[in-house]
Amino acid sequence: MSPGERALLRAIGLALLGDFSVFTAITLLYGIAACIFALCTFTLLEGGLTSRSTQVLFATTLASFLLFTLQWSFVVGPLVIDIRGTMIDSAGTLDRATFLRLKDATAAVGLIEASSAQLLVAISDAIVIWRTWVLYLEQSWIMAGPCMLFAGTIGKSTHFCAKPSRTTDVAGTPLATSFANVVINANLKVLAGIDTTAAQITLLLSLILSLATNVVSTLLVLYRLWSYRRFGRKLGIDNTLTPVQRAMIVLVESGIVFFAIQTLNLILELVPQTSLSPASLATHITLAVLIASTAMYPSIVVLVVNKQKSVSVEQAFGLSIGIKNLEAGDVERGSRRLLTSG
């Protein structure tokens, strides 16, 4: 075996190892997501889908799960294509034409996979903004910042899907390691003219915009929670948490968890790395965790809220929280406290 053939075989092995690593992670996460979605669906159906807000919530959880299913299937598909193309259909001849055919065969799949990830991020950001908006119905101008960030996310996603020629390379497929591109770049050098900077910038912008949206919205929820607690203390109300305040705590905690995952993924994306290095594999797996968390978020909150019993699902998602109702309830409690003490 010549040195070139040994190098090529090594690159193929590393690429397959990377694909199997991502496949294992995404399959495990998909299994967890399927169980959580099943429990969430049972919980929502048990409570009834009579209200419009519950119907919207069910539709959101269903759309997120279906998009994640699409993600999983398009991680499995390229892996099968790569193995078949190199081990079965190549007839023992692995040359430039073989890997170019594999690249063409998986390019469209990679684009759809990446586009579905963009849609999941957009849905997640929309939920984050929605749950915050209802806390500031009387001060809508405060939501200008999060809405601008969300508009940036929508614009970025539209640009991503409108430029397939720039996003079908390894940097544009968020989960798969783009087997053919890795092998070609490492050995045959036929993709030297492809610009991967645009795809990498698109992915970084996606992470930054989503992170900023989550941070701003979570801080706004935290501020509203603090202001209600402060308002209650002024009225002499005890420190017992109301159901609405418990709902806001759920929102803040989930925002913090997402912040940790998003920050870790952003740091890994900024670290200089080569294809299929340990840092590269860690980046792909962490991104898989982020996408899975985004898909599972609505279902997880439904289950957490159902376990607490003291908070309604609508409250936890901000579907029935209104500032006037909150303040009216606090004032009524404070008035009763003052009358009782008097």
DSSP string for residues in 195-244: --HHHHHHHHHHHHHHHHHHHHHHHHHHHHHHHHHHHHHHTT--SPPPHH
Q: What averages of pLDDT result for each successive group of 10 residues across the chain (342 residues)?
A: 69 76 87 92 82 80 89 79 70 65 69 75 81 77 84 74 47 46 42 45 78 89 85 71 76 86 84 72 81 84 65 52 44 41 41
Contact, 82 vs 179, CB < 8 A? Answer: yes
At residue 249, the pLDDT reads 82
Task: State the DSSP H helix or E strand holding residue 107, giving kind and residue range, or none if neither.
Answer: helix 96-133
Structure tokens at 145: 């910042």
At residue 167, the pLDDT reads 39
Contact, 256 vs 218, CB < 8 A? Answer: yes
At residue 270, the pLDDT reads 80
Instruction: Give the integer Cα–Cα distance in Å for 245 and 186.
Output: 55
Domain count, the chain: 1
Output the CA angle 162-204-20, nearest 5 degrees: 90
DSSP label of 242: P
At residue 40, the pLDDT reads 87
Structural domain containing residue 57? 3-341
Structure tokens at 83: 């193995």
Task: State the DSSP H helix or E strand holding residue 185, giving kind and residue range, or none if neither.
Answer: none
Using CA of residue 75, residue 78, residue 80, residue 82, what is the dihedral sign? Answer: negative
Of residues 258, 241, 237, 239, the one with CA closest to residue 301: 258
Contact, 111 vs 168, CB < 8 A? Answer: yes
Instruction: Give the integer Cα–Cα distance in Å for 316 and 132.
Output: 11
CATH code for the domain in which residue 232 is found: 1.20.1070
